[in-house]
């Protein structure tokens, strides 16, 4: 594959975590992370000032917890700081990355892939950015699975700020890691450095949506340099968000046309489908009418024999139970 679309790509696409003003501010900084002081527990272990529930762990290259895959890098992190459960790294890992400026199509595909991979036992690795990254993390968490967020800031500094709740949930149920010390702010070049860790941690990197200047292409390029497998999801040829991912496919990336393609790359198989739930009559009819593909709610009365009011009430009940989800257009599908 040609190097020029992957190399030296930072997160410059629309919807980047950097605004023009914040980028200028960062460029005027010292270009190095600044660490905030840490509290300590009675046992002397540090605790993030942003998170008192779990202590920050420090791994170096001699630590038993240090992922050996990172040693494949030309410049492996000397130190890693983590918040959460190290057990999230013990599962088969797959990186799912993509644009921050994601489309409904991209987020839907991301949820489908992350759900299938999580149910098969994989741990989802991504960068906790807006868009595709966040959709991948959230789906893994919703499925009760494992997810690993690699940050370009300190491990206790949610980035973007709007992902504070997502950050805390990953800390509680998965793992957040960074090579930057606790309290470190974003700095110029932090995210390409973050991307190399994502690429090294996972044997397979899947790009769902990426523009030509997407940081996801940087991750894919670094994965290729490490002889990792790079795959991509095809997108509409007239979509800016798919130009980079379609380019990856044209240049030889593995095509992901269905969840089974992703499972095969990791040597995983889908577990048996859970038995259908026992539901009241109206909810049962809606459940039987739906599948994992979206269905227009306008079609439900004709399919189920229920009134529209009964359909909407049943959909609300199924959403509360976590069995279905609705798109912004009002379509419905099983979760």
pLDDT of residue 327: 82
pLDDT at 275: 67
215/16 Cα distance (integer angstroms): 9
Domain assignment present for 7: no
Instruction: Note whether 123 and 196 are same-domain residues.
Output: yes
Retrieve residue 92's tokens.
């088969």
Tell me, yes or no, whether 171 and 259 share the same domain. Answer: yes
Alpha helices in the chain (DSSP H): 20-28, 104-119, 132-142, 164-173, 190-201, 215-225, 243-250, 259-266, 281-289, 300-304, 308-320
Both 222 and 178 in one domain: the answer is yes
> Is 8 part of any domain?
no
d(CA 318, CA 331): 14
Assess whether 173 and 231 both reside in one domain: yes
Task: Classify residue 13: in a domain, yes or no.
Answer: no
Please state, in angstroms and rounded to a whole number, the distance separating the CA atoms of residues 189 and 207. Answer: 21
Owning domain of residue 95: 20-266
Which of 318-322's residues contact partners 24+ apart within 8 Å by CB, and which partners? Answer: 318/279, 318/283, 318/286, 318/287, 321/277, 322/142
* Residues 155 and 286 placed together within one structural domain of the fold: no
Per-residue pLDDT of the chain (335 residues; tens, 9 = 90+): 444 444 434 333 333 443 333 332 322 232 333 333 334 333 333 444 444 457 999 999 999 999 999 999 999 999 999 999 999 999 999 999 999 999 999 999 999 999 999 999 999 999 999 999 999 999 999 999 999 999 999 999 999 999 999 999 999 999 999 999 999 999 999 999 999 999 999 999 999 999 988 889 999 999 999 999 999 999 999 999 999 999 999 999 999 999 999 999 999 998 877 666 788 999 999 988 887 678 899 999 999 999 999 999 999 998 888 888 888 778 888 87
At 305 the pLDDT is 93
Q: Where are the beta strands (DSSP E) in 12-87?
A: 39-40, 46-47, 57-60, 79-84
End residue of a domain, out of 223, 240, 266:
266
Q: What is the CATH number of the domain that holds 312?
A: 1.10.10.10
Residue 272 placed within a domain: no
Residue 141 located in a structural domain: yes
Structural domain ending residue among the three candidates 211, 237, 266? 266
Q: CA distances (Å), 46 to each of 89, 177, 178, in order?
A: 21, 15, 15
Q: Quickly count helices (H) and strands (E) in the chain.
A: 11, 14
Backbone torsions φ then ψ of 139, nearest 5 degrees: -65, -45
CATH of the domain at 246: 3.40.50.450
76 within domain boundaries:
yes
Query: Do residues 327 and 194 share a domain?
Result: no
**Claim to verify: residue 199 and residue 288 sit in the same structural domain:** no
Domain count, the chain: 2
DSSP, res 122? P
Question: Does 241 share its domain with 92?
Answer: yes
Does residue 155 sit in the same domain as residue 296? Answer: no
**From residue 164, how far is each of 33, 210, 259 by CA, in Å?**
20, 24, 30
Q: What pLDDT score does 53 carry?
A: 59
Q: Are residues 187 and 291 in the same domain?
A: no
In a domain, 257, yes or no: yes
Q: What is the pLDDT of residue 293?
A: 72
**Residue 322 — φ and ψ, nearest 5°?**
75, 20
For residues 306 and 260, state if they share a domain.
Answer: no
Pair 233, 324 in one domain: no
Model confidence, pTM: 0.75
Six-digit token string for 279:
């539901």
Give domain status of residue 325, yes or no.
Answer: yes
Domain end, chosen from 234, 266, 298, is at 266
């Amino acid at each position: 594959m040609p190097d020029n679309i992957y190399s030296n790509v930072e997160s410059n696409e629309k919807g980047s975590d950097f605004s023009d003003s914040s980028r200028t501010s960062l460029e005027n900084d010292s270009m190095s992370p600044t660490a905030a002081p840490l509290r300590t527990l009675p046992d002397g272990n540090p605790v993030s000032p942003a998170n008192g529930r779990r202590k920050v762990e420090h791994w170096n290259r001699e630590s038993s917890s240090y992922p050996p895959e990172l040693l494949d890098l030309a410049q492996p992190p000397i130190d890693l700081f983590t918040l959460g459960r190290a057990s999230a790294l013990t599962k088969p890992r797959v990186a799912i990355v993509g644009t921050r400026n994601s489309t409904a199509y991209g987020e839907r595909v991301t949820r489908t892939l992350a759900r299938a991979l999580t149910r098969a036992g994989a741990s989802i690795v991504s960068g906790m950015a807006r868009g595709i990254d966040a959709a991948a993390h959230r789906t893994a968490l919703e499925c009760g699975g494992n997810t690993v967020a690699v940050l370009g800031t300190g491990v206790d500094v949610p980035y973007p700020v709007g992902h504070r709740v997502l950050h805390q949930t990953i800390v509680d149920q998965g793992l957040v890691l960074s090579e930057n010390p606790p309290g470190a702010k974003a700095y110029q070049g932090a995210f390409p450095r973050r991307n190399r860790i994502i690429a090294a941690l996972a044997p397979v990197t899947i790009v769902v949506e990426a523009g030509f200047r997407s940081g996801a292409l940087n991750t894919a390029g670094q994965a290729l340099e490490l002889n990792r497998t790079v795959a991509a999801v095809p997108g509409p040829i007239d979509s800016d968000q798919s130009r980079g991912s379609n380019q990856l496919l044209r240049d030889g990336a593995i095509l992901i046309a269905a969840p089974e393609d992703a499972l095969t790359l990791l040597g995983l198989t889908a577990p048996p489908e859970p038995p259908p739930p026992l539901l009241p009559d109206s909810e049962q009819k809606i459940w039987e009418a739906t599948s994992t593909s979206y269905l227009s709610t306008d079609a439900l009365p004709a399919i189920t024999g229920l009134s529209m009011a009964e359909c909407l009430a049943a959909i609300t009940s199924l959403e509360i139970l976590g069995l279905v989800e609705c798109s912004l257009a009002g379509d419905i599908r099983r979760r």
